[in-house]
Structure 1
Amino acid sequence: MKNLVKGAALLVVMFLSTQFANAQQKIGHVSFNEIFSLTTDFKTAQDQLKTLGEAKTKEIQALYTEFQTKQTAANDKLRNRSEANKDKVDAELQTLGTELQDMQNRITEFQRLAQEEVQKKEEELFTPIQKKVADAITAVSKEKGYAYVLDVSTGSIPYFQGGDDLTPAVKSKLGIK
């Protein structure tokens, strides 16, 4: 019986000490997206992506202009078709139709490849920035003794009240004003 009382008392003490330790853990929050979008690296990367996107758009527009020119030529041939030149024009239209279909396929493929290239470049540029911000958040959290830091910019935290906003400290660590 005496051992049972000692065991129960030990369990109560362990439970209370665990609760006390949990109550002492600090919780903070940051806005990852805000920090990420304010870095100078982000602005540089965004400019590079914009330039790449504009270049790809011009290339696609040039292909589409060539397509429209051939399509207009085919429509003109069709309008000028007569019984006298029917066979010759039909053969030319057949050839133009095949060329137009090939061009359409090339344009579609070029658009797909351009989109993939832009996405790959975006990942290549943004991944190191994301790591840099995450490392800064980790460093600030450790320096300030936080057990948990939540990202409030994702919208996946249904409710939080209070806690310490570490966003300014992380911005400062990254040299963002």
Structure 2
Amino acid sequence: MRLLALCLTMLACGYMYAQDSTMHKQSQQLKYGYFSYKQALETMSGYGLAQQSVANLKAKYDAEMRRVEEEFNVKYEEFLDGQRDFAPSILKKRQAEIKELMEKNLAFKDEAKRQLQQAETEAFAQLKTKLANAILKVGKERGYAFILNTDSNSVPFINPAYGEDALQYIREAARQ
């Protein structure tokens, strides 16, 4: 019985050692890349044009919001100046107009914000797709198990013995 227990223990130890050395070899062979997505995107051709397009649209919306705000302020000042002299029915009508104008202004601001976000998404969609394809290509060509995005301090430590900075390869692949 003791001999059987001893044999089983030795067999289990040998199995564990073999698995540990296999895992160690696999971890030594594991290769990964890392890069800054933001840096890669900002250096792509077309980034400046997309950014300028979004900035121009934002400037137009900002100008329109200022105009609408000024219009509201003028009407509100007129209302405040004349409210003592208005008959009750005129006062209610003017209050309703001011309230409606304020609601329209808020709705416009919300819609402008939504449309600006959509325009930004559309402006950068092609660049992001091109970058995603470049990342995929580099990952396959360089034999990476994965590629990490180092933006926002999401990866505070990278051991250079296992990983390599893939930014230059991704930039080159994105240019093609």
Question: Shared fold by TM > 0.5?
Answer: yes
What's the offset of the Cα at 1:7? Answer: 7.5
What's the offset of the Cα at 1:154? Answer: 3.1
Question: Aligned partners of 1:76, 1:104: CA distance in 2, in Å?
Answer: 18
**Does structure 2 retain, via aligned residues, the 8 Å contact 1:35–1:167?**
yes
What's the counterpart of residue 129 of structure 1?
Answer: 127
Number of positions where the alignment pairs a residue of Structure 1 with one of Structure 2: 169
What's the counterpart of residue 148 of structure 2?
Answer: 150
Which structure 2 segments of 5+ residues have no match?
Answer: none
1:75-120: CA deviation from partner (whole Å, max 9, x where unpaired): 33247x4xxxx63xx5433322221111001000100011011111
Give 2:37's match in structure 1, choosing from 29, 32, 37.
32
Question: Aligned partners of 2:79, 2:11: CA distance in 1, in Å?
Answer: 98
AA matched with 1:138? L
**Does structure 2 retain, via aligned residues, the 8 Å contact 1:30–1:165?**
yes
Secondary structure of 1:154's counterpart equals: helix
Per the normalisation by structure 2, the TM-score is 0.81
Q: How does 1:110-129 map to 2 (within 5 A)?
A: 110-129=108-127
**Does structure 2 retain, via aligned residues, the 8 Å contact 1:56–1:114?**
yes
AA matched with 2:169? A
Question: Aligned partners of 2:89, 2:101: CA distance in 1, in Å?
Answer: 18
AA matched with 2:66? Q
1:8-49: CA deviation from partner (whole Å, max 9, x where unpaired): 646643542332122112122111111012212322221111
Percent of residue pairs bearing the same amino acid type: 22
Per the normalisation by structure 1, the TM-score is 0.81
Please tell me the root mean square deviation across aligned C-alpha atoms, in Å.
2.5
